[in-house]
Structure 1
Amino acid sequence: MAIVRFSPWREIDSLQKEMNRLFDTFAGEEPEVAFKPAAEMQENHEAIDLKLEIPGLEPKDLDVQVTAEAVAIKGERRQENKTEKQGLTRSEFRYGTFQRIISLPVRVQNDRVKADYKDGILHLHLPKAEAEKNKVVKVNVG
């Protein structure tokens, strides 16, 4: 068993960080633990495929906007869990809006985007702009 030295300053520091987070929340600043959908981006010669993990939503709850340079996803989460067991009722709920803007590495044809939402995964297929497909960049060495 390892011996751990007690440090009251560590506890005070932890308490101070928690109090700062609480005051930031009341001051209208966004807390550090705001919901941010996980994203995965894959690029090939023809297109960019973007996947976002957004469980518990209906497609009507999502607002997806695509420009030539970025993708913006907004939504509202409304989750409610209610269980009854042996005469006791347990209810949990979580509400809140989220927004995520993802910059794209190349320009895309935003009028040809295909979207699919299944099992909590939003999949966007973003075809590259024609100028980006044929783009060759000369690299100077040395």
Structure 2
Amino acid sequence: MPITLWRPFRDIERWQPFQEIENLQRQMNRLFDRLMPSGDGGGAGITFVPSAEMEETDDAVHLRLEIPGLEAKDLDVQVMEDSVAISGERKSQTKVEEKGIVRSEFHYGKFERVIPLPTHVQTDKVQAEYKNGILTLTLPKSEEDKRKVVKVKVA
């Protein structure tokens, strides 16, 4: 049986750089689809986590969260004795028309954040205000935590 050292050109694959770029783009799109909802209202992913700032005084814990683009009715705030859970859904639409061309964008997505509190609070006396995209919560400390004094032994 003769040994063939040469193969015909039909076995050689041609390099197609544009096809490789398209494959990379498809992979990147799949990655972003997993991280962000699809925009069709059925997205199960979390779109963002609101930034928070906490300050503790002698009488209360003050919590501020940055949640722009929502109305107060879109927020769900639940206060437990030792934590606060904030969740909601962002629904926004922008529509721009210039030179006879209409561009419309929709942004939908859910968010949630659970913030542990440094002390127990009185859940029935919490005050909340939502203004200019900032949610401000005033969480009064429970009476026993106000009076609690801890003596620390110094070695």
Q: TM-score range by the shorter chain?
A: 0.7 to 0.9
2:61 maps to 48
- Mapped partners of 1:24, 1:141: distance in 2: 55
TM-score by length of 2: 0.71
C-alpha deviations, 1:89-114, integer Å up to 9, x for none?
Answer: 11111101111000000000010000
1:72 aligns with 2:81: no
Cα deviation digits, residues 41-99 of structure 1 (max 9, x gap): 01100101101111111111111000110000110000111111111111111101111
Distance in 2 separating the partners of 1:41 and 1:65: 16
Structure 2 letter corresponding to 1:58:
E
Residue 24 of structure 1: how far off its partner (Å): 9.3
**Aligned match of 1:3:** none
Q: From the superposition, tell whether residues 23 and 57 of structure 1 become closer, same or farther in structure 2 (CA, over 3 Å).
A: closer
Q: Specify every segment of 5 or more residues in structure 2 that has no aligned partner in the other structure, as ranges.
A: 1-23, 36-43
From the CA coordinates, give the structure whose radius of gyration is larger: 2
> Gapped runs of 5+ residues in structure 1?
1-14
Cα RMSD, aligned residues only: 2.3
Q: Which residue of 2 aligns with 1:37?
A: 50
The alignment of Structure 1 onto Structure 2 pairs a total of residues equal to: 121
The sequence identity of aligned pairs, in percent, is 58
Look up the equivalent residue of 1:69 and give its one-letter code.
D
What is the Cα deviation at residue 34 of structure 1?
A: 3.5
Which 4+ stretches in 1 moved above 4 angstroms? none
- TM-score, with length taken from structure 1: 0.77
Structural mapping, 1:80-119, within 5 Å: 80-119=93-132
What residue is the counterpart of 1:126 in the other structure? 139
